Amino acid sequence: MKTTLIATLGFDEKFCYRAILRHGIKEGDEIILITAEKVEKVEKAYEWIKKLIQTSFSEKVRVQLFEVNVENAEEAIKNVLEIIKKVDGRAIVNLSGGMRVLVVIVLLACILASMNVKVEIEKEDLSGVIDFQSNLIRLVKSPPTATELEILRLIEMGSNSVQEIAKRLEKDESTVRRHLIELEKSGLITAEKRKPLIVKLTNLARLFL
């Protein structure tokens, strides 16, 4: 599967370079760099990354640099969103470089995008990488419904089977089962047992309780 690495870029190319190595960028993949302003230092960082890629992969990994106007946040978010939506394959967004306002703009675009996006940011001391689950990104845009929240609260209180939840909600078991399937897809619950279905909350679910 094709990988597209989208990275915010400032004066320092090291975060992008490390992301390229970490994700094993290969022939046929794509690198998209987003910056707030194409000043000389940014251009130098971009040229360094292009040189690295060309040396390793010739022309078989495409590298592009996009400039967005951070003075107009709405337009900048729209532009980044258009870039993300054109991605064909796996999308990884690295927010380690560039201006803070640029990082926020790209993160908001990721939240608005209706697709799976892996978002990460590297610690400034280079000691590790923080990953944001794609489920978390989606849930910020589309949080649990009132009924789903009620189900999560019941699970938290110990009602962890379809039968118990249906009885407490006074709903059909088939309806409850459908809700549980959606909650599992969202990463809010996980199955401890399938037959009969017994569920438990994930750490992600506790953000909403």
Percent over 90 (pLDDT), the chain: 74
- Boundary residue ending a domain (87, 122, 141): 141
Task: Give the end of a domain, one of 125, 141, 157.
Answer: 141
Tokens of 111: 């939240």
Residue 105 CA to residue 103 CA, distance in Å, equals 5
Q: What is the pLDDT of residues 126-169, one digit of tens each?
A: 888 998 877 888 888 889 999 999 999 999 999 989 999 999 99
Q: Which residues are CB-neighbours of 40 under 8 A, at least 6 positions away? A: none
Backbone torsions φ then ψ of 63, nearest 5 degrees:
-125, 125
Measured in whole angstroms, the distance separating CA 7 from the mean position of its chain's CA atoms is: 12
User: CATH code at 175?
Assistant: 1.10.10.10
Domain with 183, as residue range(s), is 146-208
* Amino acid 100: pLDDT: 95
Q: Do 76 and 106 reside in the same domain of the chain?
A: yes
Give the type of residue at 200: K
Give tens-digit pLDDT for 23-78: 999 999 999 999 999 999 999 999 999 998 988 887 799 999 999 999 999 999 99
Domain CATH for 112: 3.40.50.11700
**Beta strand spans in 47-195 (E):** 62-67, 90-94, 118-122, 129-132, 189-193
Q: Would you state the pLDDT for residue 135?
A: 81
* Domain tally, the chain: 2
Q: Is this structure's pTM higher than 0.85?
A: no
